[in-house]
Amino acid sequence: MANNPWPGGGQGFPCPQCGHPFRLTAAELLAGEQFNCTSCGLVLTLAKEQSRPALEQLRAYEQKIEQITATVPSQSGTTKPK
């Protein structure tokens, strides 16, 4: 992706205090409520109630990825077990 604003590539969002990227997986976002910046230590709290629609979409996306991954043949030629 040519317009990736995070150093070193990857996805994330910048810390509002120091600009260091938060790189979180969908699973981490779905499981957590607080996230610490590894650079400055700022603690961000996820407002789950206000974020519910986005979290539901993220959960549905993760489920689709799992379904697709389960049907993709492994390097040995067999599908991955469910």
Instruction: Name the one residue in this structure whose structure tokens are 């499981």.
Output: 31
Domains in the chain: boundaries: 13-70
Which tokens is 59 given?
């959960």
Instruction: Name the one residue in this structure whose structure tokens are 């981490």.
Output: 28
Which tokens is 30 given?
């779905």
Q: 62 vs 74, which has greater pLDDT?
A: 62
When pLDDT is averaged across residues 59-80 and rounded to a whole number, the result is 78
Residues 48-69 pLDDT 10s: 888 888 888 888 888 888 888 8
- Asked whether the CA dihedral 34, 38, 39, 40 is positive or negative, the reply is positive
Whether the predicted model's global pTM rises above the 0.75 cut: no
Contact status, residue 37 vs residue 22, Cβ threshold 8 Å = yes
Q: 39 vs 48, which has greater pLDDT?
A: 39
| Type of residue at 50 | Q
Distance of alpha carbon 12 from alpha carbon 50, whole angstroms: 20
Residues 12-25 pLDDT 10s: 788 999 999 888 87
